[in-house]
A and B are shown apart, each in its own frame.
Chain A
Amino acid sequence: MKEAVHIGGRPSPEPDLDELVGRVALGDEDAFASVYDAVAGSVLAVARAVLRDPAQSEEVAQEVLVEVWRTAPRYRPERGTAVNWILTLAHRRAVDRVRSVEAAAARDHRAALLARTPEFDEVSEQVEARLEREQVRRCLRTLTEIQRQAVTLAYYRGLTYSQVAEALTLPLGTAKTRLRDGLIRLRDCLGVTA
């Protein structure tokens, strides 16, 4: 305990989400409904960004939200915020789905990858204007072009780093490095701590 910690002023889209998830862990369905209302829009947006297909993304989003209910008793606040836990789960599940679909279709060649090159604005169409989005948009602009493309391809399209390398014609090692230094720059700009 070396530093003063001001949690009262910590910026959070839903200040009570950690507490709500604690209540969900005790079987509180009303608390779950509140968690749903707070995060369902982002969970669905992440799934749709990665999967594109509306029906599939809705299916994945529902699975993620039910998984939040099911595994809430295992959520540990000391390992990160609830919103972080839920969105990490959403991204993980969307990526798992897109990779299993891709493996089946064997369509991870360069042309297909380039056809999926995302723009943040495209992903965020229909997005309500809000502070969080503005802040992320502003911080993405502080990345180099290659960093920004690499990070957004990996996150919003669910590409592996070798697919990122192929899509951007980068050596594999460079793709790894751009994902890392891009995220580090984003972390510092957003002031993220873990």
Chain B
Amino acid sequence: MTTTADLHRLTGAYALHALSGDELVAFERHMAGCEPCAQEAAELSATAARLGLAVTVPPPDAMRARVLHRVSSVRQETPDGLTAVRTARAAVRARLLSRWTLAACLAAAATLGGTTVWQHQRAEDALRQARSAQSGTEAIAAVLASPDARTRTAALGGGATGTVVVSREQDKAVFLVSGMARPAAGKVYQLWFDDRGTMRSAGLMDSGRTEQAVLLRGAVDGASGMGVTVEPAGGSREPTSPPVAVLGFPA
């Protein structure tokens, strides 16, 4: 008989796909209500993946051709797991639209909160919302839609996720964050450009939202990254506390 203590110890076997049948089911059920188990299982899965990354054999050239040929006719699933119904013509259109669609969805996220970049199939709604959005949102969308836009995403502390989108051409950057804890009363999150170690203020974030898209105020002007600090309401001329997040700009 498998006890709860035994189930805790199955994280390693789970991460290595070394459980079979009933035990896999029992462990997954247990993990659903055991946060530390889920966390450990995730870390050990990431560790196991490193064992895979450490080995490599040169794949035959024919395999590359076969796989690339196959994907040209395989439909992709939607984020909720259903297969998208998509004609070849629609696929081409989707590809042409994809960058703008992404931008539109992010713009919608800026106004509504909670929308993710992956919900690109909601493009039409998002486009409508983006068009009616205020100019700040349009400026954000312009950065996101820029052909040279580059993004970098990272897990921040406390379950928050941050993405920075930089357009060198427009010399602008947008910071998107979700799951961010609200600052303490009387405090705000302030954004900074990192000019090779010197912090230059890039405006404040909206303290009332845990999900938001913010256009960094001012030009990127060669900054190598950005940071976020907690500052007294109204912001500071220079950071008065260590950064809660630092993101390097994508090259």
- Which A residues are within 8 Å of any B CB, using their own CB? 1-10, 13, 16, 18-19, 22-23, 25-29, 32-33, 36-37, 40-46, 48-49, 58, 61-62, 65-66, 69-74, 76-81, 83-84, 87-88, 90-92, 95, 99, 123-124, 126-128, 132-133, 135-137, 151-152, 154-156, 158-164, 173, 175-184, 186-187, 190, 192-194
Contact = CB atoms under 8 A, between A and B. Distances in A.
B128 interface: no
A5 B157 contact: yes
Interface stretch (B39-47, B132-140, B167-175): B39-47
Contacts of A76: 118
Q: Assign chain B's interface to a size class.
A: 35 or more
B32 interface: no
A22 B151 contact: yes
Contacts, number: 274
A105 to B, nearest CB: 16
Given A7-B246, A8-B224, A176-B9, 11 more contacts: A5-B246, A8-B152, A41-B57, A41-B58, A41-B59, A69-B71, A70-B75, A74-B77, A124-B54, A183-B12, A183-B48
Nearest to B120: A26
A27 B91 contact: yes
B56 A127 contact: yes
B1 interface: no
Contacts of B74: 66, 69-70
A91 B56 contact: no
B222 to A, nearest CB: 15
Chain B binding surface SS class:
mixed
Contacts of A65: 67
Given A8-B248, A40-B59, A66-B74, A155 B48 contact: yes
A137 B54 contact: yes
Nearest to A185: B47
Which one of A19, A73, A77, A95 has the highest number of Cβ atoms from chain B below 10 Å of its Cβ?
A73
Given A61-B63, A123-B55, A176-B6, A36 B47 contact: no
A87 B46 CA distance: 9
Contacts of A43: 52
Contacts of A37: 64
A136 B53 CA distance: 9
Nearest to B181: A1
Contacts of B45: 80, 84, 88, 194
Chain A binding surface SS class:
helix
A184 to B, nearest CB: 7
Nearest to B10: A176
B51 interface: yes
Which one of A19, A41, A78 has the highest number of Cβ atoms from chain B below 10 Å of its Cβ?
A78
Interface string B61-99: 001101110111011111111001000000100110010
Nearest to B101: A26
Interface string B196-224: 00000000000000000000000000001
A58 B72 CA distance: 19
Contacts of A180: 9-13, 44
28 contacts: A1-B245, A2-B158, A3-B244, A4-B244, A5-B156, A6-B246, A6-B248, A25-B76, A26-B95, A27-B91, A27-B98, A41-B57, A58-B63, A62-B63, A66-B74, A69-B71, A71-B77, A73-B84, A77-B161, A79-B42, A88-B52, A123-B55, A127-B54, A135-B54, A173-B6, A175-B13, A179-B12, A187-B47
